Structure 1
Amino acid sequence: MKTADKQDPDAPADCPVYSTGVTGEGYVYDGCRNVLSPGWSRRGFIETLGLTGATLAAAPLASMLLPGSALAGSAVEDFRFAILADSHTMGKKNNPMKVRLEAAIRQINAMNPAPDFVMYLGDAITDGTIDEFKYFEDIIAGLKPKTYYLAGEHDWYLDMGEYYMQHMIQRARPYYSFDHKGAHIMALHGSNLNDFWSSRKLSPQERMKVAGDINDPAQGTFALGRAQLDWMEKDLATVPRNAPILIFSHVPLYQYYKPWNFWTQDADQAHAILKPFSNVQVFHAHVHQLVEHQIANMKFCGILSTSWPHPYPESYHTLGLSGQMPRPNPARLFDGLGWHIARVEGSGKVSHEDILWTLKPPES
């Protein structure tokens, strides 16, 4: 197959070819979004999949082979939900974490009308111990709405997710989806790291320390992984193209700032799967910052933490931004912290409100 003279200007110059897929417009492209051919046939498409082992394409062919979605013909209804993330509770040794999380819980419980649910986007604790988990569970038990969880790296790399899977996610896999009032909701497991510990014979505690350090190069970059990407494609194959798609991930589902591992290595492949959908909103945690970003049809929102604010990096690499962003003062109990309210309207519009405590600190 000959390569056409067309390349996505946002694609990294040295990006390896991870896979091949087909866009909603019928372009065959590789994992770096380099367009390989301006058209495709059923035979060519199947041959492409066979040659690469990829199942990325969310193309019309896929919809012909699978049953209809539960959302097909469903009207979108208004609903609201809350988003919490990065509480990093550390047990009794760091009481401010408890104070801040409790403040968020009080505010969410006071919402009128109450949110349909809460999404908790990971890093509930810091060191991964059972004592920290139980401490967090005692606090979060005060939250009244139904809560859905996904994992951050701090929840995972001491026991490789065993406790968090059993007590929070309570599903067979760390990623899952569900439909709610005409919207399709996907909770991703973006905290996958390649095995950096076995060859180095690291203890669980040493593994946790490396995984939890945002600027330790030994951990490598985060990735969704082939199995999860395949699941995403199958999960979305029968969802109507105009349905609101709400994606939740702990780490950014794009490549933001690599020195601090604000980075998903195979984000481009997820973008390819999501490209045919007209209404995609991604919420991510991990960065402890307000970040607004858009790539093609996908809007991204970085979620505030209730633990501590990260400073903004000096430069923004693939975002093409530069300059100094405002720096919150971590010495102030609530500066630079908070949580979020999001809303889906009957029209399908998705919006969110940042509850930034810098503007109005809660009562402690």
Structure 2
Amino acid sequence: MKKDNDGILLGPGVSRRDFMKMSAFTGLAASLGGLVSLDFLSASPAQAQGMGTVKPFTFAVMADHHTMGPKNNYMKMRVERCVQEVNNLSLKPDFIMSLGDVVHDGSDEQMKFFDELIAPLKAPVKYITGEHDWYLDMGESYGKHYGKTTYSWDHNGVHFIALNTVMLRDFWTARGLTAQERMDIAGTLNHPLPGPFHVGEKQLVWLRDDLKKVKKTTPIIIFSHSPLYYYYKPWNFWTEDAPEVHLLLEGYEHVQVIHGHVHHIVKNQIGSIKFASSLSTGWPHPYPTSGLPAGSPKMPRANPANIFGGLGWDTMGVDDQGEVSVKYEEWSRVKA
């Protein structure tokens, strides 16, 4: 592997000129320079043959734990409750998806602590990264614990895609920031310096190639940390190049995106693409003053005296048409 002049990791023998020729999104090059590099896992060759009828199944989603090791016992207690409840489901999930921000400060020690907390889970766990998992060491610890950031797989007739949606422009190198300073800025919800999140041109090319192997009738479920639409920019509930992702998904009949990051319930639909957030186990964010999609359910404001208020996790059911039903296991009220 080699890096081009912008520090973007390229494949063997691929120059930036060749890469840009391959990309359908060359117009993004100037605006997205200096993004962090990614690891990719290719989809299976079987996808090229398409898939048959969906066999119904369930999976569980957990997100935004923000565990801080032994220094914050509330975060520990919330993850432990999540693990216990998932294990007690009468209908066992086929897998569990973690939507990122498993830790708060990005350290290897915190990730070890989190791994011990979720070790009792009885179903396999898959991961995507959040900004809090990434920017202390630029994904080194994340990769060691959780593997690839971008990958796809097929399950029971559904095509799943995991994306890294928390890429930021390089705001640290020219300023000579330390790793901790970089982490503190990237992890501040409303800090003006980093700008919005991106998927990035390299990942867009990967997604384009991955989708070429998938029939238009095959249901697709995408996991992202930040919402793949424009929600509320002052808090970075925003992915700048989300419309480029939407463009790639045009023509697919069933697309569901499940995201984290916002720490509350929000649903949206843009064209044929449906979006649903996950609850957090870390803490609840309030709703912004604007931007909530029309028709989205809205949680009541959490009671700060209840350490489980406004928090929880989610169960997802997929029917024989590939449609996803979301059940919010919100701890402080009747399930939404």
Counterpart of 2:128? Answer: 150
Counterpart of 1:61? Answer: none
State the AA in 1 paired with 2:140: E
- 1:235-285 alpha-carbon deviations (Å, 9 max, x no partner): 011211111100000000011000000000000000000121010000000
In the aligned structure 2, how far is the partner of 1:263 from the partner of 1:50?
23
In the aligned structure 1, how far is the partner of 2:96 from the partner of 2:24?
42
In the aligned structure 1, how far is the partner of 2:126 from the partner of 2:313?
15
Match of 1:106 among 84, 97, 106: 84
Counterpart of 2:302? Answer: 328
> Deviation of residue 86 (structure 1)?
0.4
Name which one, 1 or 2, has greater alpha-carbon Rg.
1
> Deviation of residue 331 (structure 1)?
2.9
Match of 1:350 among 320, 324, 327: 324
> Deviation of residue 143 (structure 1)?
1.2
Counterpart of 1:339? Answer: 313
State the AA in 2 paired with 1:316: G
The answer to whether the aligner puts 1:118 opposite 2:92 as a matched pair is: no
Question: Structure 1, unaligned stretches of length 5 or more?
Answer: 1-47, 56-66
Superposition TM-score, scaled by structure 1 size: 0.78
In the aligned structure 2, how far is the partner of 1:121 from the partner of 1:335?
20
Superposition TM-score, scaled by structure 2 size: 0.84
Pairing of 1:148-227 with structure 2 (within 5 A): 148-168=126-146, 170-171=147-148, 174-227=149-202
> Does the CA-based 8 Å contact 2:260-2:280 persist in structure 1?
yes
In the aligned structure 1, how far is the partner of 2:165 from the partner of 2:304?
27
> Deviation of residue 345 (structure 1)?
1.2
> Deviation of residue 52 (structure 1)?
6.4
In the aligned structure 2, how far is the partner of 1:237 from the partner of 1:54?
21
Question: Structure 2, unaligned stretches of length 5 or more?
Answer: 1-20, 29-44
> Does the CA-based 8 Å contact 2:25-2:201 persist in structure 1?
no
**Count of aligned pairs:** 298
State the AA in 2 paired with 1:281: Q
In structure 2, the CA distance between the partners of 1:245 and 1:73, relative to structure 1 (3 Å rule), is closer
State the AA in 2 paired with 1:108: V
The answer to whether the aligner puts 1:72 opposite 2:50 as a matched pair is: yes
Q: Percent identity?
A: 47
* Comparing 341-350 and 144-153, the one that deviates more: 341-350
- 1:306-331 alpha-carbon deviations (Å, 9 max, x no partner): 010000011117x4689x97311233
Pairing of 1:269-288 with structure 2 (within 5 A): 269-288=244-263
SS at 1:112 equivalent: coil
Match of 2:67 among 80, 89, 98: 89
Counterpart of 1:316? Answer: 291
The answer to whether the aligner puts 1:293 opposite 2:268 as a matched pair is: yes
What's the Cα RMSD here? Answer: 2.3
